[in-house]
């Protein structure tokens, strides 16, 4: 009995040694992560691509294989991350806030306790593009028009509703609301099937370039004045913003266009392993200058601004890095 026990123990120890040495061990195993983004002509999609590129370039160091998925946007991404269908997602700061508090699309489900913040990204502007021939110069002119307010699952859907409501426009009664995806909106506008569309997006974006470069002349409609003052006061996540007109040569406007904005944020679930989150944060923050060259919308990013605009608790993997770097106390 004694000897049998010894042999068994030996086998166990040797097995452990072999497992540790083999290439298939925990150390050498590749971890697969997918980032939920948005439509391919938005800024989330290239942002997911930029994060994945930096991580995948150092595959030997991190053992992470990162891929990107085009999705319906913020709300879809948050829900997919919480359901465990995606490891990471990009989501508007206002939608992160609402998920954490159990508001808007999460009203019935309640506060989403497993949502974790990783960092924030580029600013996004609530962008309203309208056809010149539709005679839409102000929000009030939208009455009776066919307007794309955003697909279910997108960030912009609620932003469009908030903006319209702040101007006393009922989206169900006063306009002909469409809920098409942002990637389809420029084509619908150019084809004369809609008069205007809302898109909450960083600038420049492929979708807005497409909308402003077609044969049908379009203009950005300013979102400003007393209703916007009230909107910014009412909701903590809206701030005033500007659409830089120089990025869109084809637009009818010649000056920067005032609007409201939020921030893009990078989120995950409490269930994502700390070392995976730590590796991604470290790669992006240690090489922020290189990251910033990957899209013009990242120009304003700094390591400290990227910790702002977040409502969910930091993921422990992100927190560890931020504390090491003194970015967080």
Q: Which among 94, 211, 71 has a CA at the least distance from the CA of 163?
A: 94
Nearest approach in angstroms of CB 224 to ligand GLU is: 20
Q: With CB under 6 A as the contact rule, which of the stretches 17-25, 26-34, 198-206, 223-231 interacts with ligand GLU? A: 198-206
Judged by CB under 6 A, the residue of 33, 35, 36, 42 near ligand GLU is 42
Q: With CB under 6 A as the contact rule, which of the stretches 58-66, 135-143, 152-160, 224-232 interacts with ligand GLU? A: 152-160
CA atoms of 181 and 173, how far apart (whole Å): 21
Alpha helices for 131-287 (secondary structure H):
156-166, 185-190, 206-212, 226-234, 274-286
Rule CB under 6 A: say whether 259 interacts with ligand GLU: no
Closer CB to ligand GLU, 202 or 222, in the complex: 202
CB atoms within 10 A of CB 7: 10
Nearest approach in angstroms of CB 123 to ligand GLU is: 11
Q: Which two tokens stand for residue 28?
A: 């050498």
Alpha helices for 167-305 (secondary structure H):
185-190, 206-212, 226-234, 274-286, 288-292
Under 8 Å between Cβ of 186 and 211 = yes
Q: Which residue has the tokens 């470069």?
A: 213
Residue 114: phi, psi to the nearest 5?
-90, 0
CA–chain centroid gap for 327, Å, is 22
Nearest approach in angstroms of CB 196 to ligand GLU is: 17
Rule CB under 6 A: say whether 160 interacts with ligand GLU: no
Judged by CB under 6 A, the residue of 34, 35, 36, 43 near ligand GLU is 43
Judged by CB under 6 A, the residue of 34, 35, 36, 44 near ligand GLU is 44
Residue 85: phi, psi to the nearest 5?
-80, -30
Nearest approach in angstroms of CB 223 to ligand GLU is: 15
Under 8 Å between Cβ of 143 and 175 = yes
Nearest approach in angstroms of CB 104 to ligand GLU is: 12
Nearest approach in angstroms of CB 39 to ligand GLU is: 6
Nearest approach in angstroms of CB 51 to ligand GLU is: 13
Strands 31-36 and 64-69: parallel
Considering only residues 121-140, where is the footprint of ligand GLU by CB under 6 A? 124
Binding mask of the shown chain, residues 47 to 76, with x at each position contacting ligand GLU by CB under 6 A: --------------------------xx--
CA atoms of 121 and 310, how far apart (whole Å): 10
Binding mask of the shown chain, residues 78 to 117, with x at each position contacting ligand GLU by CB under 6 A: --------------x-------------------------
Rule CB under 6 A: say whether 200 interacts with ligand GLU: yes
Total binding residues toward ligand GLU, as defined by CB under 6 A: 15
Beta strands (DSSP E) in 10-49 are: 31-36
**First-residue to last-residue Cα distance in the chain:** 57
Nearest approach in angstroms of CB 73 to ligand GLU is: 2
Q: Which residues bind ligand GLU (CB under 6 A)?
A: 38-39, 42-44, 73-74, 92, 124, 154-156, 200-202
């Amino acid at each position: 009995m004694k000897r049998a026990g010894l042999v068994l123990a030996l086998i166990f120890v040797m097995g452990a040694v072999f497992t540790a040495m083999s290439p298939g061990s925990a150390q050498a195993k590749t971890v697969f992560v997918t980032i939920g983004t948005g439509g391919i002509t938005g800024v989330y999609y290239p942002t997911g691509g930029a994060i994945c590129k930096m991580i995948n370039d150092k595959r030997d160091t991190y053992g992470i294989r990162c891929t990107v998925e085009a999705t319906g946007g913020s709300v879809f991404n948050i829900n997919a991350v919480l359901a465990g269908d995606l490891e990471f997602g990009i989501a508007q700061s206002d939608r992160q806030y609402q998920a954490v508090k159990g508001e808007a699309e999460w009203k019935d489900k309640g506060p989403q306790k497993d949502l974790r913040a990783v960092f924030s990204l580029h600013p996004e502007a609530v962008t309203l593009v309208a056809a010149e021939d539709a005679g839409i110069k102000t929000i009030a002119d939208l009455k009776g028009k066919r307007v794309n307010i955003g697909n279910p699952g997108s960030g912009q859907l609620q932003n469009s509703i908030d903006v319209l409501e702040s101007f006393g426009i009922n989206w169900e009664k006063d306009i002909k609301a469409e809920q098409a995806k942002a990637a389809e909106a420029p084509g619908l506008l150019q084809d004369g099937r809609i008069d205007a569309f809302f898109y909450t997006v960083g600038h420049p974006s492929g979708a807005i370039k497409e909308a402003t470069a077609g044969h049908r002349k379009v203009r950005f409609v300013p979102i400003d004045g007393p209703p916007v003052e009230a909107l910014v006061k009412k909701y903590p996540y809206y701030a005033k913003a500007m659409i830089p007109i120089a990025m869109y040569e084809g637009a009818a406007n010649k000056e920067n266009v005032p609007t409201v904005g939020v921030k893009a944020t990078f989120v995950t679930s409490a269930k994502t392993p700390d070392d995976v989150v730590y590796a991604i944060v470290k790669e992006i923050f240690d090489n922020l200058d290189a990251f910033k060259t990957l899209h013009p919308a990242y120009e304003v990013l700094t390591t400290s601004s990227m910790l702002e605009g977040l409502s969910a608790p930091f993921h422990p993997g992100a927190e560890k890095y931020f504390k090491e770097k003194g970015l967080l106390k």
